[in-house]
C-alpha cells in the first residue's frame, strides 16, 4: 500500500472536530494525541477554550492529512433544545431536526450562546466528530444529556473518546479514574461512571467508543482511535493515507523505544567500565585519598545518569524548559545521591547483601596483597573503615584496589550499580512513554525515588564482562584511559595473529567494540522495555 505524488497533491485533509461539554478535557486530549504541549490553553476554569483552534497533521511532511479542531465547550444545550422544540419548522416535521436547524435557531448575537455556536459551526464543516466523555463525571447531568440529544440528530459520524481513565501511582498500582478530573486536580473519591456512560451512549445510538486518556497516554489506544477515524472516512484515498500515517507512527514509536534502550545501555556501559584512579598514594595517605575518590565517583555517576535522563526527555518530546531540571531530581544533589548510593536504596533494591550503599556504597577493599605489603588484617581493617565512613557497616560493595608498590589507588562501581540505574532508567522510560501532555507545567517528579527493581536476565553478567574494558567508558579521562585504546589495539593485533595459528581460532574470542557492547546491552534491555505488538 503506497501513495503517489499526484494523489498527495489531490489529497484533502480529514477534518476532525473534538467536541463536548465545557472543561471535559478536549484540549488535553488533542495535546496528547498530537504530542504538542503548547496547543490550546488548559486550566481549571470553565470555558477556557473560547474559539476553535486547529492542529494540522502532515503526512511525511508532504501533504496535510488531518485537521484536528479544538472547539469551545457546550454550555447551552438545554436552551437550544427548548428553542428547537418551539420552532415552527421543527414542529411541522414532528420534532425532527438536523444540524442546519441547530445553527438556525442559535441566537447569533447573544454572548451566552457564542461558544455553542462556534462549536456547532465546526461540526458542520468536519468529516468526523470526536465526542470527549469524561468518565469521572456523571453522564446523567442535564447538560450532557441535552448535548447527546442534539448530537445524535446532526448526521455526523461520531467516535466517543473516554477520557480521564486513571493513572498509576509511583508504586505501579492503578489508582483508578478518580485520580484526576478534567482539570488535572486530585479528587477525593473514586468515581468511574463508565457503565453509566455506556448506557446513555447506547440509548442515544452511539456505539463507536475508544478509551483515550489525555493524562496517561497509551500508544495502542492512540492507534485504535485513528483506526476508528479512518473507518468513518468515505474517501478511499484519505483512508489509505491515514492508514499509512498510522504505520509511520508505529515506526516512530519503535524508533523512540530503540533509541531509549541505547541511551540506557550507554549509561550502564559507561558506569560499569568507569574507574577513578589516584597515583603516588603513600600508605599513610590512602584513607583521605580513598574518601575523595569515592565522592568523585558518586558525583560523576549521578551526573552521567542525569545526562542520560535528559536525553530520554528529548527522545520522548519533552523539553527541559517545560519539565524543569527539578523534575529529574528529588530534593538536592545529596538527597538524590543517597537514593542511588544510600543504605535505604540498597534495602529497597535488595542488592549488596542488605548493608551499605546500593551502587558502590561501603565496599570492602580488594587489596593486592602481593604488591601492597599489607597484611590480610590490614585489608579487613580497610574494609571496615570504608564501611563505617560510607554507612555500610563494613559490607563490601565498592570495588577498589590499592597497589602499594605502584602507589596507585583504583575505585570502581560495583556490579549492583546496574540494578539501581537500570531500574530508575526503565521507570523513566515507561513514564515518558505513557505520559500525556495535558498540563506539563504541573509536573510531579518523573524519576521515582524508589522505582520497582528491574531484573534483566543476562544484563549483570554482560556488564561484569564489559567492566574489564576500561576503554568502553567515556567517563575515564585519565592517562591510563587514554593509553587503554592503544594497549587494546596491540592486544587485538596479537589476538588476530593467534587466531591464524592452527587450532587456536576456536579457542579465542573476538572482542566487541564499544558500539557492539552498547547494542548487546540494548538488546537485553528489550526484556524490560519490550516493543508493542
Least confident of 97-111, 318-332, 369-383: 369-383
Highest mean pLDDT out of 147-156, 318-327, 347-356: 147-156
- Segment 337-354 shows an average pLDDT of 57
490: left (phi over 0), alpha (psi -120 to 50) or beta: alpha
- Segment 219-244 shows an average pLDDT of 94
Give 72-118 pLDDT, tens digit per residue: 999 999 999 999 999 999 999 999 999 999 999 999 999 999 999 99
Q: What is the DSSP string of 357-418?
A: -TTT-S---EE-HHHH---HHHHHHHHHHHHHHTTSTT---SEEEEETTTTEEEEE--TTHH
- Cβ atoms of 463 and 413 within 8 Å: the answer is no
3-state secondary structure of 15: strand
Give 118-176 pLDDT, tens digit per residue: 999 999 999 999 999 999 999 999 999 999 999 999 999 999 999 987 644 433 333 33
Least confident of 155-169, 422-436, 505-519: 505-519
Neighbours of 447 (CB within 10 A): 20
192 or 63, which is more confident: 63
For cell 530508575, what's the residue? Answer: 424
450 or 255, which is more confident: 255
250 or 359, which is more confident: 250
For cell 485504535, what's the residue? Answer: 224
- Cβ atoms of 32 and 144 within 8 Å: the answer is no
351 or 225, which is more confident: 225
For the chain, the average pLDDT equals 77
User: Distance between CA atoms of 191 and 180, rounded to whole angstroms?
Assistant: 10
Residue 406's pLDDT is what?
Answer: 86
Highest mean pLDDT out of 40-54, 195-209, 339-353, 467-481: 195-209
User: Distance between CA atoms of 314 and 309, rounded to whole angstroms?
Assistant: 9
- Cβ atoms of 37 and 322 within 8 Å: the answer is yes
Residue 395's pLDDT is what?
Answer: 32
224 or 406, which is more confident: 224
Per-residue H/E/C for 77-141: HHHHHHHHHHCHHHHHCCCCCCHHHHHHHCCCCCHHHHHHHHHHHHHHHCCEEEEEEECCCCCCC
Residue 178's pLDDT is what?
Answer: 33
Residue 533's pLDDT is what?
Answer: 62
Residue 443 has pLDDT above 60, yes or no: no
What is the pLDDT confidence band of residue 333, given thresholds at 50, 70 and 90?
A: very low
Residue 367's pLDDT is what?
Answer: 28
Residues 6+ apart with CB under 8 A from 153: 96, 97, 98, 99, 102
Residue 390 corresponds to which cell in the numbers above?
Answer: 560510607
What is the pLDDT confidence band of residue 496, given thresholds at 50, 70 and 90?
A: low
Q: Is the pTM of this model over 0.85?
A: no
Least confident of 123-127, 180-184, 251-255, 508-512: 180-184
Residue 167 sits at φ, ψ, to 5 deg, of -140, 170
Residue 356's pLDDT is what?
Answer: 31
- List b or e across 318-347, with b for residues whose CB sees 16 or more CB atoms inside 10 angstroms: beeeebeeebbbeeeeeebbbbbbbbebbe
Residue 376 has pLDDT above 90, yes or no: no
Q: Count Cβ atoms within 10 A of the Cβ of residue 211 and give its class: 0-12 exposed, 13-18 middle, 19 or more buried.
A: middle
Residue 192 has pLDDT above 70, yes or no: yes
Residue 156 sits at φ, ψ, to 5 deg, of -110, 140
Residue 267's pLDDT is what?
Answer: 97
Residue 380 has pLDDT above 80, yes or no: no
63 or 187, which is more confident: 63
Residue 123's pLDDT is what?
Answer: 96
CA count, 13 A, side-chain hemisphere, 35? 16
What is the pLDDT confidence band of residue 497, given thresholds at 50, 70 and 90?
A: low
Q: What H or E segment, with its residue span, contains residue 76?
A: none
Residue 399's pLDDT is what?
Answer: 77
The segment(s) of the chain belonging to CATH 3.40.50.300 are 5-234
CA count, 13 A, side-chain hemisphere, 23? 16
Residue 504 corresponds to which cell in the numbers above?
Answer: 587456536
Dihedral angle, C-alpha 300, 302, 303, 304, nearest 10 °: 90
Residue 46 corresponds to which cell in the numbers above?
Answer: 470553565
User: Distance between CA atoms of 39 and 214, rounded to whole angstroms?
Assistant: 13
- Segment 334-343 shows an average pLDDT of 56
Q: Which CATH number fits domain 5-234: 2.30.110.10, 3.40.50.300, 3.40.50.10190, 1.10.3720.10?
A: 3.40.50.300
User: Distance between CA atoms of 285 and 322, rounded to whole angstroms?
Assistant: 47
What is the pLDDT confidence band of residue 19, given thresholds at 50, 70 and 90?
A: very high
- Cβ atoms of 233 and 242 within 8 Å: the answer is yes
313 or 91, which is more confident: 91
User: Distance between CA atoms of 339 and 328, rounded to whole angstroms?
Assistant: 13
Amino acid at each position: 500500500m503506497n501513495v503517489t505524488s499526484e494523489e498527495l497533491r489531490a489529497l484533502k485533509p480529514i477534518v476532525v472536530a473534538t467536541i463536548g461539554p465545557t472543561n471535559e478535557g478536549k484540549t488535553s486530549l488533542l495535546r496528547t494525541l498530537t504530542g504538542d504541549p503548547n496547543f490550546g490553553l488548559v486550566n481549571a476554569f470553565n470555558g477556557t477554550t473560547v474559539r476553535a483552534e486547529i492542529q494540522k497533521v502532515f503526512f511525511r511532511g508532504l501533504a496535510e492529512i488531518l485537521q484536528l479542531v479544538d472547539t469551545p465547550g457546550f454550555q447551552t444545550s438545554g436552551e437550544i433544545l427548548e428553542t428547537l422544540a418551539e420552532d415552527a419548522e421543527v414542529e411541522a416535521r414532528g420534532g425532527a431536526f438536523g444540524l442546519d436547524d441547530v445553527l438556525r435557531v442559535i441566537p447569533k448575537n447573544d454572548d451566552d450562546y457564542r461558544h455553542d455556536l462556534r462549536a456547532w459551526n465546526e461540526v458542520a464543516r468536519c468529516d468526523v466528530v470526536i465526542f470527549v466523555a469524561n468518565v469521572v463525571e456523571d453522564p446523567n447531568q442535564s447538560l450532557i444529556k441535552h448535548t447527546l440529544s442534539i448530537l445524535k440528530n446532526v448526521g455526523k459520524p461520531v467516535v466517543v473518546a473516554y477520557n480521564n481513565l486513571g493513572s498509576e501511582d509511583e508504586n505501579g498500582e492503578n489508582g483508578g479514574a478518580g485520580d484526576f478530573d478534567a482539570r488535572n486536580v486530585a479528587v477525593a473519591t473514586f468515581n468511574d461512571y463508565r457503565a453509566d456512560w455506556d448506557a446513555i451512549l447506547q440509548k442515544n445510538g452511539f456505539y463507536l467508543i475508544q478509551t483515550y486518556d489525555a493524562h496517561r497516554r497509551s500508544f495502542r489506544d492512540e492507534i485504535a482511535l485513528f483506526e476508528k477515524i479512518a473507518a468513518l472516512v468515505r474517501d478511499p484515498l484519505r483512508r489509505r493515507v491515514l492508514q499509512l500515517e498510522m504505520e509511520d507512527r508505529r515506526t516512530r514509536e519503535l524508533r523512540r523505544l530503540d533509541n531509549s534502550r541505547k541511551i540506557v545501555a550507554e549509561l550502564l556501559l559507561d558506569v560499569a567500565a568507569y574507574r577513578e584512579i589516584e597515583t603516588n598514594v603513600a600508605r599513610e595517605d590512602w584513607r583521605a585519598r580513598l574518601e575523595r575518590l569515592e565522592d568523585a565517583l558518586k558525583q560523576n555517576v549521578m551526573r552521567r545518569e542525569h545526562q542520560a535522563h535528559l536525553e530520554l526527555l528529548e527522545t520522548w518530546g519533552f523539553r527541559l524548559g517545560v519539565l524543569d531540571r527539578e523534575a529529574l531530581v528529588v530534593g538536592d544533589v545529596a538527597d538524590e545521591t543517597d537514593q542511588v548510593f544510600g543504605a535505604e536504596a540498597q534495602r529497597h533494591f535488595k542488592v549488596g547483601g542488605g548493608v551499605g550503599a546500593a551502587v558502590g556504597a561501603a565496599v570492602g577493599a580488594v587489596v593486592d596483597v602481593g604488591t601492597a605489603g599489607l597484611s590480610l588484617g590490614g585489608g579487613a581493617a580497610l574494609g571496615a573503615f570504608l564501611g563505617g565512613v560510607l554507612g555500610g557497616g563494613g559490607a563490601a560493595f565498592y570495588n577498589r584496589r590499592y597497589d602499594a608498590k605502584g602507589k596507585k589507588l583504583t575505585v570502581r562501581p560495583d556490579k549492583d550499580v546496574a540494578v539501581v540505574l537500570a531500574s530508575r532508567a526503565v521507570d523513566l522510560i515507561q513514564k515518558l512513554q505513557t505520559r500525556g501532555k495535558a498540563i506539563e507545567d504541573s509536573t510531579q517528579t518523573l524519576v521515582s525515588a524508589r522505582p520497582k527493581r528491574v531484573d534483566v536476565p543476562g544484563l549483570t553478567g554482560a556488564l561484569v564482562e564489559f567492566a574489564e574494558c576500561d576503554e568502553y567508558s567515556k567517563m575515564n579521562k585519565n592517562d591510563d584511559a587514554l593509553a587503554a585504546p592503544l594497549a587494546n589495539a596491540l592486544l587485538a593485533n596479537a589476538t588476530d595473529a593467534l587466531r591464524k595459528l592452527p587450532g587456536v581460532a576456536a579457542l579465542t574470542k573476538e572482542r566487541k567494540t564499544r558500539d557492539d557492547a552498547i547494542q548487546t546491552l540494548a538488546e537485553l534491555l528489550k526484556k524490560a522495555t519490550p516493543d508493542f505488538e
